[in-house]
Amino acid sequence: MPFLIVILVIIVLLVIPNIKIVPQAKSYVIERLGSYYTTWKNGLHFKIPFIDRVSNVVTLKEIVKDFDPQPVITKDNVTMQIDTVVYFQITDPKLYTYGVEFPVSAIENLTATTLRNIIGELELDQTLTSRDIINSKMRSILDEATDPWGIKVNRVEVKNILPPKDIQEAMEKQMRAERERREKILQAEGEKKSSILIAEGEKESAILRAEAEKEARIKRAEGEAEALLKIKTAEAEGIKLLKDAKADNSVLTLKSYETLANMANGQATKIIVPSDLQSIATIGTTIKEMMSDNKSK
């Protein structure tokens, strides 16, 4: 009986550790008697004790590696530091396990050499303005080179480009000069537009003043003409009323007196009194001479 218990304990100790549960997004590379046997996906698996072993546990998630800055030399012999970030994913656990020793280190070295080759064909200004081109070339080259390792390079990003300190200072001076130039151009354009707007405003103001003066003169002329017309109309109406009333000489004489009195109270400086106030024709002549004298004054 104790012998059976010992056997059961040994069986349990051998069976339980060899039951493996592979989680999601992972793969187990299994070797049997030292040779590749199979790749376990997620789920429940059992390996034979002392015969099978787990050679490698591989993650299938996308991996991000931020590599240290690498010294590179541009086509115009400027040395700068560039660091890159590589996004890759393991697509074949078997090739990843047996394809290359230390795959991440191999990717880092391959990235450094590829970056030096690409930057060596570009000048400094092109390097600073061609990040998209550098990223695209590096991704294409790395993806092709890592296929035998079971690795898919999804994206490569140039994180930082650090030129020498003296180059940075020269670039900052150039940028300041460019900003000052643009500022002066914008200021000159603003002054130009302001002058144009002021001139246009003065022109429109002068036109409006001229039109207003013209309208005022027209209105004054129309008012004077209307007043003169009303005066003439009133005089005609008065004469017509006197004629219709059949006024005699005494009435006319009285009107003549009133006219002379009004003229004496006005601005006339010369008054001619006819000898015969009973003569309407003489009074008319007198009034005409006085009006002519007022006009001459």
The pLDDT tens digits of the residues spanning 9-39 come to 777 777 888 888 999 999 999 999 989 999 9
What is the predicted pLDDT for the residue at 183? Answer: 84
pLDDT at residue 168, as a whole number: 72
Tokens of 192: 């130009």
β-pairing, 79-90 with 70-73?
Answer: antiparallel
Angstrom distance (rounded) from CA 186 to CA 191 = 9
- Say which residues have a Cβ less than 8 Å from residue 167's Cβ, sequence separation at least 6: 78, 80, 124
pLDDT of residue 144: 92
Q: Where are the domains of the chain?
A: 2-59, 62-163, 165-246, 248-297
**What kind of fold does domain 62-163 have according to CATH?**
Tetrahydropterin Synthase; Chain A (3.30.479)
Confidence check: pLDDT of 206 > 80? yes
Over residues 249-295, the pLDDT tens digits come to 555 555 555 555 555 555 545 545 555 444 544 555 555 455 455 44
DSSP category for residue 260: H
The predicted model scores a pTM of 0.56
Query: Cα–Cα distance between 151 and 90 in angstroms, integer?
Result: 5
pLDDT of residue 261: 54
Of the listed ranges 56-70, 83-97, 157-171, 283-297, the one predicted with least confidence: 283-297
The tens digit of pLDDT for each residue in 77-100 reads: 888 889 899 999 999 999 999 988
Of 47, 57, 60, the residue nearest 20 (C-alpha): 47
Higher pLDDT, 174 or 87: 87
Task: Tell me the per-residue pLDDT of 193-202, one tens digit each, with 9 for 90 and over.
Answer: 888 888 888 8
Per-residue pLDDT at 278: 47
At residue 155 the predicted structure's pLDDT band, cuts being 50, 70 and 90, is very high
pLDDT tens per residue, range 100-147: 889 999 999 999 999 999 998 988 888 888 889 999 999 999 999 999
